[in-house]
Amino acid sequence: MTTHQDASARFRAMASDVTVRVIDPLRDPSDAMAQVEATFRDIERVCTRFDDGSDLMRANAQPGEWATVDPHCFAAIELAYAAYDRTGGAFDPRVLRTLHALGYDRSINFSVGDVTTAAAALPESWMRQPWTPEFDHAGSRVRLGSDPLDLGGIGKGYAVRCGIEALAGLGRAALVEAGGDLATYGDGPAREAGETRAWRAAVEDPRGSEGPIAVLDVSDAAVATSSVKLRSWRAGDRDVHHLIDPQTGRSAESGLLSVTVVASDPAWAEVWTKAAFLQGSRGIVPFVEREGLAAMWVDATGTVSSSASLRDRILWEAPHGR
């Protein structure tokens, strides 16, 4: 059987550096890897909230009316609603107005640090009606309510899902990673002689230390992390971040700095990490146990915790109290 050399590609999409790898490919993976990049760009184009002409923003601009959208946008909105329903509203994408009020109405390079926007004009009260969108599968149409959607996180998870699906069967193993969200199949690339093959993912320290807090075996799995480390800024006189609590319409005050979830699907890993983050430091333990989540989290004191379902995937942990 003819095999090809391991293949990799990198590109920028969805405000993230995207990496695609195929290990021991059985045939030339070039076309499939190009398809992954094209799919990311298509999903970004139709699901972005930073372009008023995108399919998402056209649907947002027509509350109560049917809007025909690209199949990728349709799938992402339907997935967001399934997540809203499954989590009892803990995951809710209807946060666009809050993000705009906090000054996050454009793409911001948070890596430069010390981002400041104008004072937030948030409402004193936050009344949220149940979300009841309608879907016309035959016509690829959606009818949204009056609260506009942000599909940023779940859209990226959906793109990673589409990417890893495009690589199925191409080789012994493959990976698609986008800004910390990733999916793999197979047992990873070869490392040192005699060492067990595995896809490994380092869990970043949200407190900003150089080394990771853990290394996980993420073979045949998907990973997502919600963290306040990068997308945090100052809106007027208040410190804010992008993880919005749908119960208050404000940046979540959960007592947590980050939550990482390992799951079977990257879009659902994204859903569960946000839903778990919003439970806060007091509610996260019963939540992850009830849902059976493989999760690791860091609270505001720097304490690192993990669920029983994650233990078998932990290859290394930083010493406590580092």
Higher pLDDT, 305 or 189: 305
- Residue 277 phi, psi dihedral angles, 5° rounding: -55, -40
- Residue 194's pLDDT band, with cuts at 50, 70 and 90, is low
pLDDT at position 181 is 95
For 60-100, the pLDDT digits (tens) are 999 999 999 999 999 999 999 999 999 999 999 999 988 88
Q: What is the pTM of this model?
A: 0.93
For 240-270, the pLDDT digits (tens) are 788 888 888 888 888 999 999 999 999 999 9
Task: For domain 7-107+134-190+197-317, say whether CATH 3.10.520.10 is its number.
Answer: yes
How many percent of the chain have pLDDT more than 90?
72
**CB–CB of 154/147 below 8 Å?**
no
DSSP state for residue 110 in the 8-state scheme: G
Domain ranges of the chain: 7-107+134-190+197-317
Four-CA torsion 96, 99, 104, 107, nearest 10 degrees: -40
